Structure 1
């Protein structure tokens, strides 16, 4: 039977695209998030998806959610740490509360979910951990120091874990997409427009031009990379931060 997958933030955007791609290969896929209605709607549309309410910022919620998924569908051997907040503020406007909220979801959430899923992989002697980071974790993103720091931290976490498990059949890799055509981009258009005093078209152009090939990336492109990393073909790919940005970052 194909391996059980758990994806945080799996009810929409990149997470849902990855979930659908893996489910299409026959994997049972647990999708997690905070909103039951979003998860249930996604699961109703795609066979092989199973909703599990879980808040990655709460250690008890993560432990309980992973335990419930394991009890229902067996050990988790592929984990995609995808849950994240993408919001930019200048450092002066970054309050301690805002900083903490970004870190709690993007970085702490990855740490907590990986920690909860990893024992299954260690027990089975194999597994895949894939973190959805960002090009902001490689080069920094202007106007988004908290977000960039959280994604740098996520990549550091993945690289460290890959070193810890060298020689095993468990791999750890990060995907680093540029601007992807999801609801997050729509929200960023509104945010950039408000901050910069420009119209929506100009705000969108800022994001499109940041991708080296001059277009938004499709979520399915990121999902295809995740599908490869989850496969046996990528068994020698470990500790990598893979850029999906239309060119060199």
Structure 2
């Protein structure tokens, strides 16, 4: 019986206990990878890990550099060096630019950009030593274009895309690929909670709120987390070994 495509590879997914991260981790388990999920809530991590058949979990706030490095080291002590890193953890806050305080920009850069830097620097030496590695950054269409009222988030995600391109050039001859995935609005529990808040605040219908969110998507629908997971699985596999430095939009044809 042939081994599954990612058999023997240790994959670590940050933000792996909810939303897109769960779908990614579940798909990588199905591809045969040894999967560790990383998040903040240990109870939820344990529950999700059991539900999807992950091989372990580690707890850390990705904005805490020392804690994140320690968690990755813990995962590697158990399952060996990380061969596939999915930098999925992130957050978005909104405010008009003129009302956005400096700490808002710092929070968005810390969770969306600096966590990617910390995690990637932790695993990359091992990848280079092995001559194999995949770093996959979950960015956003906000990394490819501008959106109103989320200037700090847009700036951070643009930075992730730029970082991806620079890292890809530095690792191109070392057996490591670095890519970004840029989803549009995805149908997750966090998005649904956001929709509920808008409905409560404005009295608008849920369908109207979602329709507004996807107005720039020619397919006029939310992106399914499984679609993002499919792309991660492809980028992690042997068939994408020549794909590096790319920012792949999953947005129903939205113009960037």
TM-score normalized with structure 1 length: 0.95
Deviation, structure 1 residue 208: 2.5
SS at match of 1:55: coil
Deviations for 1:180-229, whole angstroms, at most 9, x for unmatched residues? 0002212332455578x452423222113232210011000000000000
Aligned pairs (5 A) from 1:189-204: 189-190=195-196, 192=198, 197=202, 199-201=204-206, 202-204=208-210
Judge conservation of contact 1:52–1:69 (CA < 8 Å) in 2.
yes
Deviation, structure 1 residue 91: 1.1
SS at match of 2:215: helix
Deviations for 1:130-173, whole angstroms, at most 9, x for unmatched residues? 00000010011221101111100001110000011122210000
Question: Among residues 213, 217, 232, which one is paired with 2:219 in the alignment?
Answer: 213
Match of 2:120 in 1: 114
Q: Are 2:77 and 1:71 equivalent residues in the alignment?
A: yes
Q: Are 2:162 and 1:160 equivalent residues in the alignment?
A: no
> Structure 1 residues 49, 181: closer, same or farther in 2, change over 3 A?
farther
Judge conservation of contact 2:57–2:75 (CA < 8 Å) in 1.
no
Match of 1:10 in 2: 16
C-alpha distance in structure 2 between counterparts of 1:160 and 1:200, whole Å: 43
Match of 1:132 in 2: 138
Aligned pairs (5 A) from 1:1-249: 1-190=7-196, 192=198, 197=202, 199-201=204-206, 202-249=208-255
SS at match of 1:7: strand
More deviation, 38-47/207-216: 207-216
> Structure 1 residues 187, 98: closer, same or farther in 2, change over 3 A?
farther
C-alpha distance in structure 1 between counterparts of 2:162 and 2:196, whole Å: 31
Aligned residues: 248
> Structure 1 residues 167, 231: closer, same or farther in 2, change over 3 A?
same
> Structure 1 residues 200, 186: closer, same or farther in 2, change over 3 A?
farther
Deviation, structure 1 residue 64: 0.4
SS at match of 2:178: strand
**Cα RMSD between the aligned structures?**
1.5
SS at match of 1:131: strand
More deviation, 232-241/39-48: 39-48
Judge conservation of contact 1:189–1:200 (CA < 8 Å) in 2.
no
Q: Which runs of 5+ in 1 are unaligned?
A: none
TM-score normalized with structure 2 length: 0.92
Deviations for 1:4-27, whole angstroms, at most 9, x for unmatched residues? 001110111111101000001221
Deviations for 1:88-123, whole angstroms, at most 9, x for unmatched residues? 221123222222111110011111111111111011
